[in-house]
Every structure is written in structure tokens, then in C-alpha cells.
Amino acid sequence: MDKAGSRILPLAIHLSSLLVLVASTTIFQGDLLAYYARIDIALWIALLASVTGFRGAIRRDIESHRLLWITGFTVIAAGRVYSIVSTTIENPLKLYIGGLINSFNYELSIILGLIGISICLLGDLLLLFNFTSIVRNPLIQIRLLASVIGDHPVLVSALIAFLVRLAPELYFSNYIIGYDTVEYVSHLRDFTAKPSFIGVYYWMGGLRRIPPMLDWMLYPFSLFVDPFYIFKIYPAIAFATIVALTVKYSTKTLRAGSSTALIVGITTSLSIIMLRES
């Protein structure tokens, strides 16, 4: 392909996909399901069209128009991921091409698609009129970040687990999360009011003489902060510790590689059974 053709072809591809998307969103013939299916297919076409700029994308220096193509692709891909996640939550039976757009997600999906293709077209215009320049490729920094993450699966997994477990605590900030946690809070309050090495405390429906090991550990904090707030943070710390130890076991004992260990950490962090234990 000659130089002129290499400049015009991306513009033609991106412009065509934009026209298809606009036509799909503006033409409505009374069938809502067909309308949503047409938009979904048009968004997949836009995603495929935006892939054209990825040749030579992973270089230290990159042309500005190609960087815009990559940005446009990222925006469209984000819209597609949003469509998949929202459809999974609302109606998992529609996880197929043509079924990912619905009344819940179509507005944001369309907006992200239009923005992404428009960014790609801006890159096309820079290329067409020879306004492109060489810029530092931010993807190199992303690769460096990915390398750091891969080299520290234990710490990364612990951070993910901490954020996953902390999320419900922050979202339901006025409530105690977990059935047993109510007992923990009340038990620590009793211990704070009357600390002892081994005392009699109300625990799990009756008075029991048990070694309050968790209370011993958290007692110094309860002198300054109410146990309600302590148990907003402690479960996330404990869960992160469990996940970190699991990943450490997979690397040291099972000899798992960094990538496998990171997958173990993410899977464990999202495990309902493990979350229940926290």
C-alpha cells in the first residue's frame, strides 16, 4: 500500500464504523430488542475498527496519531467491558453478541463508543494532514508497572484482598458487616470496660470463661477507638493477611510462578468462602 493509501484507509475504516454506530442509534423501527441488538453489533464493529492502530504500539517512542488510536480503542473497550459486567448482573442469559445492550447500560455504552471512535478519527486527521509527532509512549510505563506487579504477587494480592474486603465496610458504613462481627464488637467492648487475663464474658449465647486472644491483640486500640470502628478495619487487614499467606504458600511450597501466584491471589480475594471466613 502506498503512503497516501496508508493515510486514507484508517480514516475510511473509522469513519465507516462511526456512521454505522450513529445510524444504529438514531434509526428506531419500533422493535426495542432489535434496536439494542443493532447497537451492540455496531459497538463490536467500532471496537474491531479501532484495533487498526496497534501495529508498533509497544515502542518507547510512538507517533501521536497512533497514541490517539490506542486511546480510542481503550475507551471503546471500557464501554464493552461495562456492557458485559452490567449484563452479567442484570440478565446473564443475554451474554452473547447482540444481547449485551439493554435499557440499563445502553446510554453509557453508546457514549463511550462515540467518544472512542471520535478519538480515533482525530488521530486519522493528524496522520492525513501530517500533523503527527513523536511522543513518549505511556504504554512503556504500563509495561513497567505490570512488571513490578508481577514481581511482587504477595503484596499485590494482599492489597487487592484488603480493598475487596474494605469495600462493603465503607459502603455500609453505619452497619456491622458479618454475623459473628456483632459478637466481636460487643465482646471487645466488655473486655475494654473490664480487662482480665482470663475472665467470664458473654460469648455466643452464654457466659463463658475463655482466653480472649483477639481482645488482647485489639485492646490497645480500643482504648482510643470504639470497637465498632476497629472492626471496620480489622477484617480487611485479617483477610489481606490470609490471602498474602496463601500466595506465599503457593510460591514457596508449591513453587508457583509469579503469574500463577497472582492469579491465586486474585481468585482467593474474590472467593465467597474466603470472604466468609473474614
Domain spans in the chain, listed from the N-terminal domain onward: 3-144, 152-277
Q: Model's pTM, two decimal places? A: 0.54
Separation of alpha carbons 41 and 136, rounded Å: 34
Give the residue among 39, 47, 46 at the shortest CA–CA distance from 87: 39
**pLDDT per position in the chain (278 positions), as tens?**
445 567 788 888 888 998 998 888 888 877 888 888 999 999 999 999 888 656 545 555 557 777 788 888 889 999 998 888 888 888 888 888 888 888 888 888 899 999 999 988 888 888 777 766 665 555 555 666 666 677 788 888 888 889 888 888 887 888 888 878 888 888 888 888 888 777 676 666 777 666 677 888 888 888 888 989 999 899 999 999 999 999 999 988 888 888 888 888 888 888 877 877 76
